[in-house]
Amino acid sequence: MIKNTRVIFAQRPVGEPGDDCFRLEQCDVPELAENEILIKVCWLSLDPYMRGRMNDVKSYAAPMEVGDVMIGESAGIVLKSRSDKFQVGDRVTAHRGWQSYVISRDDDPRLMKVDTDNGTLSAHLGVVGMPGRTAYFGLTEVGKPKEGETLVVAAASGAVGSVVGQIARLKGLRVVGIAGGAKKCRFVKEELHFDACIDYKAGNLANELAAACPNGIDVYFENVGGEVMRAVAPLLNPGARVPICGYVSQYNAEDITKAETPFDILQKLDPLPEHRFFVVTEWMDRWVEATRLLGNWVSEGRIHYRESIGEGLDNAPELFRGMLKGKNFGKQLVKIADEEL
């Protein structure tokens, strides 16, 4: 009998989620029913949205219940199959949480077969996966960029922000990133080829951002909120668009319902810029299209990316806390197992 290791959501956090919010347990993997597959998980994705799902508050998706497997997407290999759609050895991604083995029905809309022509298995959790698709649709469908405009993106070295800026460069925009620390800013300018990158930790964010955007800001892709959003707001041009992907700086607030949101800041502006919160599932019917496009850009050397890799489910909670603080450099992944049957 195969043993599955999984991380259980043990209690709701107040502020930063401590170790007592997670419980590691083992259980037997049951036999497959018809039209089910067993996936050996090789990679687990850690993403900021997970922190919001730990709160018992109304949001775009239902909160996790205490006792659930921690939510998240993983990538792995089909180990057993009772499905005509999937064969043993197929590479797949599935949205079934923090665990070493996953059983999934073959008609689960969040189960996707991986075409490694589009990139590595781990890249399907990052640059050509959910974060890459989030960047692509958020920018093109909500940000509506136009050649010659100025775009600013926060968390510019991260999994979403790095792709946003590179796509904007491909579309002929001036691109200014905001990142934490000189090392990340060098990566954004020298490897991702942004026009400028501001280190928000250096203590002069508002002035440096204004100097980097002499013609104002036409598109601001929001990932961070807080101090960064307050520095951006006065520079937004009439007709500016603000796709709101998240505001990670506030996610560990002890009472998220009282935290300042990007909407609070934007509502004080006159004129009020076009803005909305979005989720990538709005374009689920186009996910394959976006993955292929992103994969082509990566293979052509037009989009670059970086991965931050930890090992083992037992280390996932600490890696998760670090990711929320910006300690990762690029897409945060947890390696669960080698990519072999």
pTM of the model: 0.94
Closest CA to 82 of 26, 111, 41, 39: 39
Whether 220 has a pLDDT exceeding 80, the answer reads yes
Which residue shows structure tokens 């029905």? 105
Banded pLDDT at 119 (limits 50, 70, 90) = very high
The mean pLDDT value for 217-241 works out to: 96
Rounded CA separation 112/101 (Å): 16
Q: In the prediction, which pLDDT does 248 show? A: 83
Question: What pLDDT shows up at residue 107?
Answer: 97
CA atoms of 203 and 246, how far apart (whole Å): 23
pLDDT 10s digits, 1-14:
799 999 999 999 99
- pLDDT score recorded for residue 15: 92
User: What DSSP string runs through 153-195?
Assistant: EESTTSTTHHHHHHHHHHTT-EEEEEESSHHHHHHHHHTS--S
Quote the pLDDT of residue 73: 98
Average pLDDT score over residue span 117-128: 97
**Preceding peptide of 271 cis, ω within 30°:** yes
Which residue ranges make up each domain of the chain?
Answer: 3-126+306-335, 130-281
pLDDT band at 60 (very low <50, low <70, confident <90, very high): confident
Burial of 57 (0-12, 13-18, 19+ CB in 10 A): exposed
Tokens of 193: 């080829």
Sign, CA torsion 333/9/322/175: positive
Characterise 263 by phi-psi region: left (phi > 0), alpha (psi -120 to 50), beta (else): alpha
With residue 322 as reference, give the H or E element that holds it: helix 316-324
- Topology of 130-281 in CATH? Rossmann fold (3.40.50)
Residue carrying the six token digits 């707001």:
233
Band of the pLDDT at 259, cuts 50, 70, 90?
confident
Which of the residue ranges 115-129, 258-272, 284-298, 302-316 would you say has the lowest mean pLDDT?
Answer: 258-272
| Percentage of residues of the chain with pLDDT beyond 70 | 100
Mean pLDDT over residues 79-89, rounded? Answer: 98
Q: Nearest 5°: CA angle at 144, between 141 and 146? A: 150
Q: What is the pLDDT of residue 258?
A: 77
Angstrom distance (rounded) from CA 84 to CA 97: 24
Average pLDDT, the chain: 95
Decide: 327 and 180 in contact? Cβ < 8 Å. Answer: no
Question: Which class in CATH covers the domain with range 3-126+306-335?
Answer: alpha beta
Residue 280: pLDDT band with limits 50, 70, 90: very high
Mean pLDDT of 49-67: 89
Query: Same topology for domains 3-126+306-335 and 130-281, yes or no?
Result: no
**Phi, psi angle pair for 339, to nearest 5°:** -85, 70
